[in-house]
Amino acid sequence: MPSQMSNTVSTRSSEESRSNRKQNPRLKLTYFQLPHRGEFVRVILAAGGIEYQDDRRDFSGWAELKETLPFGSLPVLYLDDKLFASELSAITKFAGRLGGLYPKDLVEQLRVDEMESKLWGLFEEFNKCYHAGFLPWDPPHSPEKHAEMQREFEKVTFPKWAQSMIEYRKLMGTGKYLIGDKMTIADCYLWVIRNYMESANFNGTPFRGFRKYSFFDPLHKNVTKNEGIKNYYRNLRLTAAEKPLYSRFLRHWNFDDEGHINNTQALSCGGATLRQKREPKENRYIKS
């Protein structure tokens, strides 16, 4: 297996890509071969129709790469091969602005930031309880301790969190998405987090808590329908190590019900005909 893989992800036709390559700065996302933190950025860039190089690393060269990063962690963005941005929250907001998934209105920005913080808080709690030493940097809890933490998460932390989301929505009004009727990065956060939590990455214990709250279902479905996201998964080329992680990650995507694609096709290393080509957003972060 090569020590790193990289996919160029684009919603452009190859002709468009060739002709635009010179004008547009090249954006590269570097992350591990995992659907964890990096997946938030990949999904947001896909939903926004932003072209970038999807640089996926295994752990073999990690020590050397880490030395070159000021904050010593992934994900990071490179622009024209120069380190450009670190820290997930900053990167997802930037990606959201590029692709029109971060509002311009100050109050709406505030709402998106609130949601991001609330969703990330849940995900962090989940990670603490459900990662049982899979990753080199996981804390070394005993299996018994992990089981106890998972029970607490299921019975107390998650229900409290879910109820607070429902109350928040009552206060803030309804819409097709978390913030009104336009999809934002907050919806992508919720989508990735739910898929991830239900996928049993990495320790084989799928989390079923979302199913008890139908409140989350329409929000999830509306993101699933996004063509940019579907195209991203249709064209993904995965290593053998990534396949089991992604096949679980995508398990709850209702491809069949939607009449689109199924998981096998999503994991069949690309090649599927795109159902719809979207015009990419201009790379507005650099003025020519």
Give the binding range for ligand GSH (CB under 6 A) out of 6-14, 68-76, 108-116, 202-210. 68-76
Residue 112 and residue 185 in contact, taking contact as beta carbons nearer than 8 Å: yes
- Residue 36 contacts ligand GSH per CB under 6 A: yes
- Residue 37 contacts ligand GSH per CB under 6 A: yes
Residue 28 and residue 52 in contact, taking contact as beta carbons nearer than 8 Å: yes
Separation between Cα atoms, residue 212 and residue 92, nearest integer Å:
29
User: Please, which residue, 72 or 204, has the CB nearer to ligand GSH?
Assistant: 72
User: Going by C-beta distance under 8 Å and a sequence separation of 6 or more, which residues neighbour residue 81?
Assistant: 26, 28
Q: Taking the complex as a whole, how short is the minimal distance between the CB of residue 123 and ligand GSH, in angstroms?
A: 11
- Residue 74 contacts ligand GSH per CB under 6 A: yes
Among 3, 60, 73, 164, binds ligand GSH (CB under 6 A): 73
User: Please, which residue, 29 or 101, has the CB nearer to ligand GSH?
Assistant: 29
What token pair was written down for 109? 């920005």
- Residue 214 contacts ligand GSH per CB under 6 A: no
Q: Taking the complex as a whole, how short is the minimal distance between the CB of residue 75 and ligand GSH, in angstroms?
A: 6
What token pair was written down for 154? 């299921």
Residue 250 and residue 266 in contact, taking contact as beta carbons nearer than 8 Å: yes
Q: Taking the complex as a whole, how short is the minimal distance between the CB of residue 63 and ligand GSH, in angstroms?
A: 9
User: Please, which residue, 36 or 93, has the CB nearer to ligand GSH?
Assistant: 36
Question: Residue 263 corresponds to which amino acid?
Answer: N
Residues that contact ligand GSH, how many (by CB under 6 A) = 9
Separation between Cα atoms, residue 215 and residue 218, nearest integer Å:
7
Residue 283 and residue 25 in contact, taking contact as beta carbons nearer than 8 Å: yes
Binding residues (CB under 6 A) for ligand GSH: these are 36-37, 66, 72-74, 87-88, 137
